[in-house]
């Protein structure tokens, strides 16, 4: 059963201009995106910078309001909930940041930082809170006596472990992880990813994992959604995506990533030219037609829907 269901999510940011500062357009950051995540599952959102993946994360976390669409968390429609009504549901969906340090008060001890949500949500305080925090430290691979240290005394990987402990403190069902390892060295990345996988197996957590890095996606995701200019263009399980990509943009992304096997490198010839168009003025029809090596006349006028072309394999391309 899905623990998070997102249907037809749209997020537009108005653009104002002219003497009267009227709305003259909109940045279409997220354009009708739908997906589900089951308990114990990781859905990866991958795409180039500016494709809308982080906006989806913030909207699902209710850090920004969607323009339209529906977000259902554990059976509760949270789309229109105001902050007070959302509060009891907040602990069910937590986040891990790319740079946890930026969200940590440098004047507070690490134990206080990790224990903050326990107090805020009225779950534990005083000695009980400290005991819970000590267990969380151990669970994420930190020594409990490090509770007395300050954030600047930890390494980047240890700070990310602190961020994970803080997110876990309120026993969430879903964690939105936005580029959580991209600032870390590769060896430390693997340790943090393995910790997240262990925690998922133990606690049944669902992850919405946002990254531009296909190697990271391959390590942690069960299914992967490829995004281009605010839309999902391909969604399938990890194995199928890497072995049988069907969307030309996915092909190009895989082609650009390091392919250790030279035969596969030869097979994947598709490359994309030019930059991603502006989401304030996306191309008509298929958004990808300006860069697609297979584009035909119809692609300039017809927007391909995301269709299931094989069990569990969804693609938005007129050729499929």
Site string for ligand SF4, 238-267 (x = CB under 6 A): ----------x-------------------
Work out whether 317 is an interface residue with ligand SF4 (CB under 6 A): yes
Q: What is the nearest approach in angstroms of ligand SF4 to the Cβ of residue 26?
A: 22
Q: What is the nearest approach in angstroms of ligand SF4 to the Cβ of residue 277?
A: 13
Binding residues for ligand SF4 restricted to 18-77, rule: CB under 6 A: none
Interface with ligand SF4 (CB under 6 A), residue total 12
Stretch that binds ligand SF4, among 80-88, 154-162, 212-220, 293-301 (CB under 6 A): 293-301
Work out whether 289 is an interface residue with ligand SF4 (CB under 6 A): yes
CA–CA separation, 150 and 107 (whole Å): 7
- Beta-bridge partners for 42: 207
Largest CA distance in the chain: 68
CA dihedral 87, 88, 93, 95 (to 10 degrees): 40
Work out whether 295 is an interface residue with ligand SF4 (CB under 6 A): yes
Stretch that binds ligand SF4, among 46-54, 152-160, 281-289, 305-313 (CB under 6 A): 281-289
Q: What is the nearest approach in angstroms of ligand SF4 to the Cβ of residue 131?
A: 55
If the CB atoms of residues 118 and 299 are measured against ligand SF4, the closer one turns out to be 299
CA–CA separation, 302 and 175 (whole Å): 36
Q: What is the nearest approach in angstroms of ligand SF4 to the Cβ of residue 317?
A: 3
Identified binder of ligand SF4 from the candidate list 56, 196, 276, 292, rule CB under 6 A: 292
Work out whether 205 is an interface residue with ligand SF4 (CB under 6 A): no
Identified binder of ligand SF4 from the candidate list 42, 299, 306, 313, rule CB under 6 A: 299
> Exposed, middle or buried: residue 319 (CB in 10 Å: 0-12, 13-18, 19+)?
middle
If the CB atoms of residues 30 and 299 are measured against ligand SF4, the closer one turns out to be 299
Q: How many CB atoms lie within 10 A of CB 193?
A: 18
Work out whether 142 is an interface residue with ligand SF4 (CB under 6 A): no
Q: Which residues bind ligand SF4 (CB under 6 A)?
A: 248, 286, 288-289, 292, 294-295, 299, 304, 317-319
């Amino acid at each position: 059963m899905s623990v998070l269901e997102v249907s037809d999510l749209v997020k537009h940011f108005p653009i104002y201009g002219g003497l009267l500062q009227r709305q003259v357009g909109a940045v279409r950051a997220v354009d009708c995106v739908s997906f589900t995540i089951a308990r114990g599952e990781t859905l990866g959102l991958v795409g180039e910078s500016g494709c809308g993946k982080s906006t989806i994360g913030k909207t699902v976390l209710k850090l920004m309001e969607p323009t339209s669409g529906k977000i259902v968390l554990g059976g509760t429609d949270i789309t229109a909930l105001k902050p007070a009504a959302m509060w009891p549901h907040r602990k069910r969906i937590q986040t891990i940041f790319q740079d946890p340090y930026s969200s940590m008060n440098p004047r507070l001890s690490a134990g206080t930082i990790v224990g903050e949500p326990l107090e805020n949500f009225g779950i534990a305080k005083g000695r009980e809170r400290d005991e819970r925090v000590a267990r969380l430290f151990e669970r994420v691979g930190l020594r409990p006596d490090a509770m007395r240290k300050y954030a600047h005394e930890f390494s980047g990987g240890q700070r990310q472990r602190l961020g994970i402990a803080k997110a876990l403190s309120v026993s969430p069902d879903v964690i939105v992880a936005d580029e959580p390892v991209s600032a870390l060295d590769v060896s430390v990345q693997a340790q943090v990813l393995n910790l997240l996988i262990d925690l998922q197996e133990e606690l049944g957590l669902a992850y919405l994992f946002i990254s531009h890095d296909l190697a990271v996606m391959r390590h942690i995701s069960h299914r992967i959604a490829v995004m281009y200019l605010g839309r999902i263009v391909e969604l399938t399980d990890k194995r199928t995506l890497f072995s049988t990509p069907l969307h030309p943009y996915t092909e190009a992304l895989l082609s650009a990533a390091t392919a250790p096997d030279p035969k596969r490198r030869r097979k994947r010839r598709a490359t994309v030219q030019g930059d991603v168009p502006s989401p304030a003025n996306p191309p008509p029809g298929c958004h990808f037609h300006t860069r697609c090596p297979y584009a035909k006349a119809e692609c300039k006028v017809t927007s391909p829907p995301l269709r299931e072309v094989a069990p569990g394999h969804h693609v938005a391309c007129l050729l499929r």
